[in-house]
Amino acid sequence: MAAMSVQAPRSSKTESYVDNKRKDDIRMSNIKSARAVADAVRTSLGPKGMDKMISTASGEVIITNDGATILNKMEVLQPAAKMLVELSKSQDVVAGDGTTTVVVIAGAFLKQCQTLLRSGIHPTVASDSLHKTSMKAVDILTAMAVPVELSDRDSLVKSASTSLNSKVVSQYSTLLAPLAVDSVLSVVDPVKPDLVDLRDVKIVKKLGGTVDDTELVKGLVFDKKVSHTAGGPTRIENAKIAVIQFQISPPKTDIEQSIVVSDYTQMDRILKEERNYILSMIKKIKATGCNVLLIQKSILRDAVTDLSLHYLAKAKILVIKDVERDDIEFITKTLNCLPIANIEHFRAEKLGFADMVEEVSLGDGKIVKVTGIKDMGRTTTVLVRGSNQLVLDEAERSLHDALCVVRCLVNKKFLIAGGGAPEIELSRQLGAWSKVLHGMESFCVKSFAEALEVVPYTLAENAGLNPITIVTELRNRHAQGEINAGINVRKGQITNILEENVVQPLLVSTSAITLAAECVRMILKIDDIVTVR
């Protein structure tokens, strides 16, 4: 990438003199390289934005529209450019969506800064004005926002589909958006209605089928086969499920041990003992009525051996092995059971109950579904399907964004129009506000207000519309008081965007503006790059 090669002059080890000329150069080169990053992702903004194909160093190919992912994979070196990458990541953490928007806005701010600095305005003045602008912008946005109730499922679905519309999977937004809303709402704890832990929503990807086949599973899905080498059951009704953290295999001590065999009769005895040992374990398990075993992965010894599998099969116990330790918490929460770490503690009250545990063939692989769980915890599993790995990955990322959007709404129950409407309105109101201010500040705020027009401009441009006509018309409509007029990309004209159901959470817009402003201010304040150990 040619733009990436904009490297600041490296200060040498024996650097002894720093003149002001160089500071300007550094600031300018920082701004330039940061803008280069912003330009790189610009075309992926909006519902008609394009995707990027990234081929990573390991030869893997990723096709995505997600700003955070693109930037993450770009491996930029220039420090200021890196800061933009960080910026996009932060937006991902805070809001989960709008990762491209935030970078595009930062790029536009930087462009204005370049002009401001060239006309001799001190960087700190520009930086302070930018701070004020962002504060004011948040006020304006909040005033524009429409409150939303969590019970209002339609609005939630609308905002999730707005987020999904710009992705590869946009044609499935009618399916995925309600799915995202349902899964988030089902994990909201009524005791703490403002908090959503997205870790309670598990996304399982499985190749095969199309995105259409994506479904929400009330229960658990394991991307694993049932261990049935010995012909064990693959479908169990009225399952009693145990999550065990020990192994059903011959004993192994932590201390190094060896069994000394002195003659062949002993060999038989040892084999028999091993069999008895395992058998007694399985008997204990069977005694509690357990018929599904989830076995945690162990690095020290085999979770199950052929022998134990054989006995388990005979006892009609379904076995899923190699469950990761990290997943145990999620599983136990879902099944409402306790993990069992020792055979001695294997008691009936630690089991979980489900109507059905079955192995299902999907595409080229098999998965295990646990459904109808009794007293299920507040978790959800989404099974994502896709015709190839790339679509699958992108679908997962898009779904994650949609989940985040819904989460934002749970955190901050306000909606705002999409389609460039808030940005144009901001630009207009900030422009008016700048006339009230005095001196340099007014000048700076005015240019930052103009910078915000970049969002509708880019939206229109990416949709193949004439950006100038569109933006000027938008301005006109907003000046006449239609604060919800935005670009309707599908129709290619300007309409009341709220009526078109293009909405997004307030948090996404506000955090995009504040984070972009914070990042640009930081870049402005830098006057030197020092190479250190």
Mark whether 223 is an active-site residue: no
By CB under 8 A, tell whether 188 contacts other proteins: no
What single-letter amino acid sits at 495? T
Q: Nearer Cβ to other proteins, position 340 or 489?
A: 340
Q: Nearer Cβ to other proteins, position 172 or 443?
A: 443
Q: Nearer Cβ to other proteins, position 265 or 388?
A: 265
By CB under 8 A, tell whether 262 contacts other proteins: yes
- Backbone φ, ψ for residue 86 (5° rounding): -60, -40
By CB under 8 A, tell whether 299 contacts other proteins: no
By CB under 8 A, tell whether 501 contacts other proteins: no
Mark whether 401 is an active-site residue: yes
Among positions 206-245, residues that touch other proteins (CB under 8 A) are 245
Among positions 117-176, residues that touch other proteins (CB under 8 A) are 122-125, 128, 131
Q: What is the CA radius of gyration of the chain?
A: 29
By CB under 8 A, tell whether 250 contacts other proteins: yes
d(CA 395, CA 387): 11
By CB under 8 A, tell whether 296 contacts other proteins: yes
By CB under 8 A, tell whether 460 contacts other proteins: no
Q: Nearer Cβ to other proteins, position 63 or 437?
A: 437
Mark whether 99 is an active-site residue: yes
Stretch that binds other proteins, among 10-18, 56-64, 232-240, 309-317 (CB under 8 A): 10-18
Q: Please, is 89 exposed, middle or buried when counting C-beta atoms within 10 Å of its C-beta (0-12, 13-18, 19+)?
A: middle
Exposed e or buried b for every residue in 507-533, given b needs 16+ CB within 10 A?
A: bbbbbbbbbbbebbbebbebeebeeee
Among positions 504-533, residues that touch other proteins (CB under 8 A) are 511, 514-515, 518-519, 522, 525-533
Q: Contact 87/488 with Cβ under 8 angstroms?
A: no
The CA-based angle 188-193-195, given to 5 degrees, is 70
By CB under 8 A, tell whether 388 contacts other proteins: no
**From 236, 304, 340, 384, residue interacting with other proteins (rule: CB under 8 A):** 340
Q: Contact 236/396 with Cβ under 8 angstroms?
A: no
Stretch that binds other proteins, among 211-219, 250-258, 282-290, 485-493 (CB under 8 A): 250-258
The CA-based angle 195-99-504, given to 5 degrees, is 60
- Close Cβ partners of 275 (under 8 Å, ≥ 6 residues apart): 307
**From 170, 215, 228, 277, residue interacting with other proteins (rule: CB under 8 A):** 277
**Minimum separation from the CB atom of position 270 to other proteins (A):** 5
Catalytic residue, candidates 43, 64, 66, 379: 66
What single-letter amino acid sits at 473? E
Q: Specify which residues 386 forms β-bridges with.
A: 207, 208
**From 279, 315, 338, 356, residue interacting with other proteins (rule: CB under 8 A):** 338
Checking DSSP bridges between strand 414-417 and strand 61-64, what pairing results, if any?
unpaired
d(CA 337, CA 339): 7
Kind and range of the H or E element at 321?
Answer: strand 318-323
CA-based torsion, 408, 412, 414, 419: positive or negative: negative
Secondary structure (3-state) at 297: coil
Catalytic residue, candidates 43, 64, 69, 100: 100
| Residues counted in the chain | 533
Q: Nearer Cβ to other proteins, position 92 or 453?
A: 92
Q: Nearer Cβ to other proteins, position 222 or 346?
A: 346
Mark whether 100 is an active-site residue: yes
Binding residue count for other proteins, defined by CB under 8 A: 75
**Minimum separation from the CB atom of position 244 to other proteins (A):** 9
**From 45, 83, 391, 451, residue interacting with other proteins (rule: CB under 8 A):** 83
By CB under 8 A, tell whether 265 contacts other proteins: no
Catalytic residue, candidates 43, 99, 458, 495: 99
Exposed e or buried b for every residue in 295-312, given b needs 16+ CB within 10 A?
A: bbebeeeebbbebbbbbb
**From 151, 253, 265, 480, residue interacting with other proteins (rule: CB under 8 A):** 253
Catalytic center residues: 66, 99-100, 401
